[in-house]
Each structure stands twice: as C-alpha cells, then as structure tokens.
Amino acid sequence: MNSKGNILIVEDEFIVANDLRLMLQKAGYNICGIAASVVQARALIEKHNPEWVLLDIILKGDLSGIDLGKELMEKKVPFLYISANTNHRTLEAAKLTQPYGFLVKPFREKDLFVMLDIARYKHQTENVRLQREATVKADSNCLDSIIGTSPKTKELIEQIKIVAPSDTSVLITGESGTGKEMVAQCIHRLSPRANRPLVVVNCAALPLSLIETELFGHEKGAFTGATQKRTGRFEQADKGTIFLDEIGEMPPDAQVKLLRVLQEKEIERVGGESPVKVDVRIIAATNRQLEKEVAEGRFRLDLYYRLSIFPLELPPLRNRKEDIHALAHHFLRKYATKNNIPVEGISDNAMRELMAYDWPGNIRELEHVIERHVLLSTTHQIESIDMPATLLRETEIVQSGKLKTMEEVERDHIINALKAGKGKVSGPGGAAELLSMPAQTLYSRMKKLGIKQTFKG
C-alpha cells in the first residue's frame, strides 16, 4: 500500500468507522468511502476501485463481511478484517476468504499500521510470485529450445527459472557453440522485461575507436563526421536487457566506462553535457576464463564481480553426451522441414558415430553436421556420418616433452583451421565455420594471438 493509498472502510458502527478514517487520513492515506453494508460497499468498490478494503464482519443487512470477503477474493481486491467477533467458527470461515490480516477490536493506532505494513508486504510478495509464475507459464516455450534431459541440462533450466524473473546481472560462461546467446534470450523472455528490447552487442566485433559511441551514443558535432545525434546500445535497451557477448574481449578503457554504468545506472553520450539515466538489465557472456583474465591484468576485478552476481556455466557437449540423441533429432526435424526433404531418422550406426565424436565446436558444430547430412541425404534416414577431421591431434599439445600453454594450443589450433580453410576466415569452408565460431570472434582471437591471415593451404 502506497502513501495516500485508496482505502474503503466497511464498518456499520459510525464512530468506529470515523475513528478509522481520521487515523488513516492523518497517516497520509486516502479514504474513498465508508460503507455500512455489503450493498453500499459493492457500489463504492465499483465506483472507486479501492486498493485495499478494511472490513468488519458484522454489518447491516442480510450479508456479512465474510460474504463480501468471498467477492473481494474472487475480484483479487486485497482486504483485512477488523472485528470484535473472534469465535472459532467465524475465524475459520473468515480464513477461507484469504484476507491479508485480522485485527481484533479494540486495537491501538499502532496495531493498525503494523497490520497494514504486514499486509502490504504479503501482498507485494504474492504479486511478485504470481507475476513470475505467469511469465514462466506464458513463455515457457523458450525453455523448450534447451534440448536435453541430462542432469546438467536440467540444472541449467532450473537456474534460468530462478534468475530470469529478477533484475540480477548474469554472466554466462562456456565454450564457443554451447548456446550462450540462446540462454540469454531465454532469460530475457522469461523476465518482466520481456516486452521491452533485448539488444545484442558482440564486444569482439566492436572497433576499438568506436566502442564508446556504439555503446553510449554521441551528440551531433561531438567529433568530425558526427553529423547527427546517435543513440547508443544502452539507450536502445532502456527498460529492457542488453546482452554483452564476448565480454572478455572488451578493452580496459571500455571496461571502466561499463563499470560506471553498472554503478550509477547512467551513461554519458560522447560530446554530451549531462548524464542520461538508463534502466537496463545486464547479461554478459564469454568463452574465456575471466578469473584468469583478471589474474593477468586484462579484465577488471571490480567489473568481474559486478557481472558475475549469478554465474551460469554451460557445459560442453562432450560432458553431456546423453543429450546428443535428442539434439540430433531436433536438428534433423528442423532442417528436413525447412528444406522440405523427407528425412525422418538417424541410423543406429550414424548415432554411434555422433556419440563417439568429442564435438570441439559443441552444439553449433552438431547442428552444422546434421544440416549438411540432411541436405546430402538420398534416403529416409541418415545412414552414416562423415565426421570432420580433427584439426588438432592430441600429440600436438606436447612440444619437446613439455605441455604447451593454453594460448599456444589455441594459436596452433587456429593456424591449423586457417590452413584447412585455405586462408579463408569467414564464409563456407572458412576457418570460422570449421571452428564453429562467429567470424568476428575469430578475427579478434587472431589479433590477440598475433596470427596473420597468410595461409593458403
């Protein structure tokens, strides 16, 4: 109940009703009316739509406060009983109407306001719960896009259900191809912000010189070429959600500005004279180990803590192989329908081949493999799987009897992919497709590892 909330008093004793009115008005509440009977109360409820009703049980006329309580319960109008009648049968009947409190006459002024505060809290809590349940029920189909019944998949779905209805920042981690953007979309669609924008930003694809203006916008004339005002991604996402993909690729200067947005809830346009308030939920994702990035000075510790209030780690497909059967058939149906190809199943032999592979590109790689085999299929089922050659053999991770560092392994892996793609990064047959990652992300990793695009097979 807000200050100056609209309250209807239903009380047949004029002196008691008037005392209630004076107490409540003194505390800042608005009294929309006083009724001595259920008939009078109905008329006032229809006319004023009160936020709360204070209801006596014994009223004038043939109907009691409990009769009106049943009607209020059905209309979802919150109410409290105020009565001197405390016999067991009456209390049991009153309880069935689900009031938000029961105040026994006579009472002190302090008791009234304590009861109102308790009722307000219970009502707000109930509203939040109902809103969450309605949101999850209305858009639970987005959870159907998370295919699989393995324990890890079930745990992920439960975590999404827990965090989605809140405004808590979420950090999604996992290897490339594990479905981080899909999970971010699902969190947004299950949140109270579902009807507002979800703005996706690939941090790895933002040119260093344009990061600030892309994220926060600029005013007309802020710099050479700024011929008109530009609205940044944060303002575009106002009242909604912003998904910062590949957050681990964000340079330190931009990290400082992002931290300020999280702390102050406001942005500053380039060339602007005053900050602009924004109401944005942050979901970030990375395939890098941010703890390692923090330890090596490439990622701010304070920003990491701000982003990782609720971390979600997506398991690689090799750690949830029991989901491969369901995923493969899901992609089979998707691409058979999309391309109008009568492929209906996967042979036992082909499924064994899918299960035996380690899937370095995770779900995205599996999807590409199934799509390719649907297009190539000449029968009603996929008979065998032509698996991609493993680009990096296990023996290659050892050099001169010593294990290579993760960056050395990653560098060699990318170089091998470039060789296999004949120097091409993006497009069909390019290294990005072979590695099952976005081309912009691969370009960013190549730059960071000092790899030049000079391979021709």
353-387 pLDDT per residue, tens: 999 888 888 999 899 999 989 998 889 999 988 77
Whether the CB-CB separation of 365 and 177 falls below 8 Å is answered with yes
Per-residue confidence at 34, pLDDT binned at 50, 70, 90?
very high
Q: pLDDT band at residue 132, thresholds of 50, 70 and 90?
A: low
**239 with 193: CB under 8 angstroms?**
yes
Q: Report d(CA 327, CA 344) in Å as an integer.
A: 14
Q: CA 134, 135, 141, 147 torsion: positive or negative?
A: negative
Query: Contact 417/435 with Cβ under 8 angstroms?
Result: yes
What is residue 388's predicted lDDT score, i.e. its pLDDT? Answer: 59
If you compute the radius of gyration of the chain from its CA atoms, what whole number of angstroms results?
A: 31
Average pLDDT estimate for 267-276: 84
Please tell me the predicted confidence (pLDDT) of residue 402: 59
Whether pTM > 0.85 for this model: the answer is no
DSSP designation for 37: B
Are the CB atoms for 455 and 415 separated by under 8 Å?
yes
Beta strand 398-399 with 402-403 is antiparallel
Question: Can you point out the beta strands (E) in 335-448?
Answer: 345-346, 381-382, 398-399, 402-403
Polymer length in residues for the chain: 457
C-alpha angle 393-399-403 in degrees, rounded to nearest 5 = 85
Where does the pLDDT of residue 394 fall: very low under 50, low under 70, confident under 90, or very high at 90 and above?
A: very low
Q: What is the pLDDT, as a whole number, of residue 404?
A: 65
pLDDT band at 243 (very low <50, low <70, confident <90, very high): very high
Q: Quote the percentage of the chain above a pLDDT of 70.
A: 90
Q: Are 56 and 12 in contact (CB under 8 A)?
A: yes
Using alpha carbons only, give the angle 76, 80, 82 rounded to the nearest 5 degrees.
Answer: 150
Q: What is the dihedral of CA 77, 78, 82, 85, to 10 degrees?
A: 80
CB 204 within 8 A of CB 222: no
What is the enclosing helix (H) or strand (E) of 34? strand 30-35
Q: Tell me, what's the pLDDT at 457?
A: 46
Q: Does 334 or 411 have the greater pLDDT score? A: 334
